[in-house]
Amino acid sequence: APGGARVAASVSPNDFQVAAGKLVDLKALGFVETHYLAVSSDGAWAASRDGPDVVLRRVDGSDEWRRFRRADAPDRKRDELTGSLALAADGSLLAAVRPGDRSVDLWDAPTGRPVARLGPFEGRVSEVAIARESRTVALAVSHGEGGELLLFSPEGNPIGRSPWPRFQNAPGLLVHGRWALAFRSDENEIPAFALADTAEPGVACVLEVPDAEPSEIEAVIESPDGDHVIVECLENGGVVVLSCRA
């Protein structure tokens, strides 16, 4: 989070760590499903799927919580309801990929009011994220041999798009608050990263990094000035620094 006040990190399928060593038991908070989890970057809110619904709860263990469900939500089995979730940095906006992976619901989290439905799109929505300051909603949509990074305002209005390779999206898609990141880890090709600027929609930049091993990304952060992205690769313990301005 800005200023380093809070950090959330996954430590097991059911727990995550907030701030200085505080362990949060998601099951104790009432979360039923933890495979699809979103945490606001201020460390205050967490969202997860629960059947056809999305449940938003405060991380501090208080009784405050909200449940979101579209009136036309299908009655499907719990294990069939999957899809990426994203929360705005302050927990004010919730984005959820709908079952079928071709559209996204936006909700006003404080009131539970539906804001917009994005899509349906021709391709599958593989990841959704919300930029920290602008609350721009970013969607990675794959179709055919390529894909697109689609950008929308918090109200659901389209504001731009960029070509987006069918690489593996970094967890959360947005690096920190502005840059979208994906990486190629095909053993038959040179490792590469794709970067796109959500503040200035346009062409995504693909950077080949011959000495990197991006098959397992341990951590990705953005420098405070937004000029560099730092990627830690788990396999060799190395760090790759990507210049966003060069």
149 pLDDT above the threshold of 60: yes
195 pLDDT above the threshold of 80: yes
The pLDDT value recorded for residue 93 is 93
Mean pLDDT of the chain: 76
DSSP assigned state of 78? G
The pLDDT value recorded for residue 180 is 84
| Range with top average pLDDT, 7-21, 167-181, 194-208, 232-246 | 194-208
**Interatomic CA distance for residues 143 and 26, integer angstroms:** 35
Q: What pLDDT band is residue 5 in, cutting at 50, 70 and 90?
A: very low
The pLDDT value recorded for residue 228 is 83
Provide the whole-model pTM. 0.78
The pLDDT value recorded for residue 152 is 94
Span of 68-82, 121-135, 137-151 with lowest mean pLDDT: 68-82
Per-residue pLDDT, averaged over 80-84, amounts to: 65
Per-residue pLDDT, averaged over 207-236, amounts to: 73
Does 134 or 219 have the greater pLDDT score?
134
**Interatomic CA distance for residues 235 and 147, integer angstroms:** 27
Question: Mind listing the pLDDT tens digit for each residue in 89-112?
Answer: 888 999 998 877 789 999 998 888
Q: Which residues pair with 24 in a beta bridge?
A: 16
CB 36 within 8 A of CB 86: no
Per-residue pLDDT, averaged over 179-198, amounts to: 80
**Interatomic CA distance for residues 49 and 79, integer angstroms:** 10
The pLDDT value recorded for residue 162 is 85
**Interatomic CA distance for residues 85 and 35, integer angstroms:** 10
Does 160 or 144 have the greater pLDDT score?
160
The pLDDT value recorded for residue 246 is 66
Question: Mind listing the pLDDT tens digit for each residue in 156-187?
Answer: 999 998 888 877 766 557 656 678 888 877 77
Largest CA distance in the chain: 51
**Interatomic CA distance for residues 243 and 154, integer angstroms:** 28
Question: Mind listing the pLDDT tens digit for each residue in 13-39?
Answer: 555 555 445 566 767 777 766 667 787
Q: What pLDDT band is residue 151 in, cutting at 50, 70 and 90?
A: very high
Q: Is the dihedral of CA 200, 201, 203, 208 positive or negative?
A: positive
Q: What is the 3-state secondary structure (H, E, C) of 111-153?
A: CCEEEEEECCCCCEEEEEEECCCCCCEEEEEEECCEEEEEEEC
CB 94 within 8 A of CB 47: yes
